[in-house]
Amino acid sequence: MLDAELTGGRPYIVSEYVAGPSLRRAAGEVRRFQGDELHRLGTAVATALTAIHEAGVVHRDLKPDNVLLGPDGPRVIDFGIARAADMSLTGAGQVAGTPGYIAPEVLIGQPAGAAADVFAWGAVMVFAATGADPFGGPAAGAAAHRVLTVRPDLGAVPASMRPWVEAALAKDPGARPTARELLLALVSADGGEALATGTRAGAGTDVLAAGSRVAAGALAPGHADPPLGTLAEDAYAGLGERDRGHAPGIFLRLVAMGARGAVVDELGERARPVLDAFRYVLAEGEGRVTLTHPVLARAWPRLRAWVAAESDGLPVLAEISVAARAWQEHGRREGDLLSGIRLEQAMEWAATGRVNSALTARERAFLQAATSLTRRRDRRRRALTTVLFGLTVLAYLAVVAALWQADRAGEQRDLAAGRQLVGEADGLRVTDPVRAMLLNVAGWRPGPAPGAGWWRRWARRSSRCSACRRRRARRWRPPGPTGGSWRWPVSGACACMTRCRAS
């Protein structure tokens, strides 16, 4: 609290603004607290409770929503229902607090004391480790019943903190440690023994200052919190030569996946030494690992260089990872495989664009399956194209054959008509030679020209009368009283076109 005024016309309280999410939002939506990170969180909350209790105040509503994760460490807020330790209940039969975080003795009518805050501390630690309320139920009554009768599952709480959390969640308030005892156990090297024997911190022990340093991650009294880049570089320097070679691929994957995180099992056993060495900047829980501080990609120069070298490929890596995970979860369906330009980009990056990034076995199988499917589709497409081309050629040949047959039929029809006219001309040659000549010409005009194809059947063709084809001589007697006749050869010349005249 920075300032307060209670006597003026409008009382007010000025408190510090904490720029950070609540523990409920951080642990419920983003990540889980494990290892040293949970230890620092527990130390921070225990430090706040110790200061509150030594001031003679009971918080009475400690829960994940009232723990803010600020840039300089966790902060406990919301003293809206806090009361002095010697004050009674809010009213007859009324219980103040949040279901699931109210101590058992408060639920049965006893006043909320400092032990109730310790019980809430244990419940908050279970929530931070699991992301779920330890006594959650469909209704407030169900949560209260579980608080009174059920011991929560502490399997997700690290073994190093499990005895403290178990002691804080004891049903009997007298069996719980005080906030100061918890804090002493958390900041002492022999904290477990101190908690087991009930050792109290001496009056001269600055346990609150020690708790503040541990909560902030200080290395020693009087030293400021080291920068993220320094922590990361120190962890990297402590790795062996082989593990250093694995670190770039692991961190590039974490940067690419963002808040979704990477699956620990997919990283393989080779990633375990790296994850253990960087536990101060990584959060691991429910089989996934994420960066606790996304700004690490800018704060650590080495990681910044890795990201700059593969900045264009990180979105591709994230797309491959998400798609491969969906493909695996859906039973490896072909519909979940990449195709087209997306597959081309992924294969190009996997083949030539990777510098430090590494593909998991599932991602390699995913790309191989996508490539095989594309090849099968290409083969089917080529086969279908060949069949369609063959059918097109056959259809074209069928059309050509039909046109040729139609042309031949037309020619046969024209020849038959020509023969009929020539036959009629033969019958008129003596009686009406002029008409016979005309019929001969008309009869031979439909015939095909020598060397002409069906496409020129409508072209003008040469014609000769039938008399011109006969290799014999004929005599023609012009009508009239003069008599006489002309005789001429008909081979090689057209008799019907020969000019005849009487003498």
DSSP states of 174-224: GGSPPHHHHHHHHHSTTHHHHHHHTPPPPTT--HHHHHHHHHHT-SSTTPP
| Under 8 Å between Cβ of 47 and 183 | yes
Specify whether 423 is located in the same domain as 459: yes
Task: Report the number of distinct structural domains present in the chain.
Answer: 3
Any domain includes 338: yes
Specify burial of residue 296 (Cβ count, 10 A radius: 0-12, 13-18, 19+): buried
How far apart CA 418 and CA 176 sit, in angstroms, is: 127
Residue 393's pLDDT is what?
95
Q: Which two tokens stand for residue 217?
A: 């991650």
Q: Does residue 376 lie in a domain region? A: no
Q: Is there a single domain that holds both residue 78 and residue 184? A: yes
Read off the DSSP letter of residue 303: H
Give 124-136 pLDDT, tens digit per residue. 999 998 888 898 7
DSSP 240-290: -HHHHHHHHHHHHHHHHHGGG-EEHHHH-GGGHHHHHHTTTTEEEETTEEE
Boundary (domain end) residue, out of 341, 359, 377 = 359
Residues 200 and 252 in one domain: no
Q: Is residue 109 part of a domain?
A: yes
Residues 422, 282 within the same domain: no
Q: Report the C-alpha gap between 43 and 288 in whole angstroms.
A: 25
Specify if 138 maps to a domain.
yes
CB within 8 A of 343, min separation 6: which ones? 337, 367, 370, 371, 374
Could you report the per-residue pLDDT of 397-422, keeping only the tens digit for each? 999 999 999 988 988 888 888 888 88
Specify which residues 68 forms β-bridges with: 22, 75
User: Does 333 share its domain with 434?
Assistant: no
Q: Are residues 145 and 169 in the same domain?
A: yes
451, two tokens: 């060397």
Residue 71 Rama label (left phi>0; alpha psi -120 to 50; beta): alpha
27 SS3 class? helix
Last residue of a domain, one of 174, 190, 224: 224
Instruction: Looking at the structure, tell me whether residues 143 and 254 fall in a common domain.
Output: no
Tell me the C-alpha distance between 135 and 152, whole Å.
7
Any domain includes 7 = yes
Predicted local confidence at residue 386, as pLDDT: 94
Give the C-alpha separation, 419 to 403, whole Å.
24
Q: Write out the residue range of the structural domain in which residue 470 sits.
A: 390-497
Residues 152 and 242 grouped into a single domain: no
Structure tokens at 137: 């139920």
For residue 264, the model assigns a pLDDT of 86
Kindly state whether residues 214 and 265 are assigned to the same domain. Answer: no
* Residue 433 burial by Cβ neighbours in a 10 Å radius (0-12, 13-18, 19+): middle
Q: Tell me, what's the pLDDT at 390?
A: 94
Residues 212 and 316 in one domain: no
Mean pLDDT, contiguous 10-residue spans, the chain (503 residues) = 79 81 76 81 91 88 89 78 46 60 89 92 92 78 87 88 93 93 77 46 49 47 55 84 90 88 85 84 82 81 90 89 90 90 89 84 91 92 94 95 91 84 82 83 60 40 42 46 47 41 34
Question: How many whole angstroms separate alpha carbon 89 and alpha carbon 70?
Answer: 32
Last residue of a domain, one of 224, 240, 274: 224
211 and 263 inside one domain: no
CATH number at residue 117: 1.10.510.10
Q: Could you read off the pLDDT of 252-264 as tens digits, one per residue?
A: 999 888 888 888 8
Q: Cα 310 from chain centroid?
A: 19
Q: Which residue has the tokens 């033969």?
A: 426
Q: Is residue 48, in this structure, part of any structural domain at all?
A: yes
User: Is 394 within the bounds of a domain?
Assistant: yes
Please give the single-letter amino acid code of residue 426: D
pLDDT given for residue 77 in this prediction: 86
For residue 228, how many C-alpha atoms fall within 13 Å in the half-sphere facing its CB?
A: 19
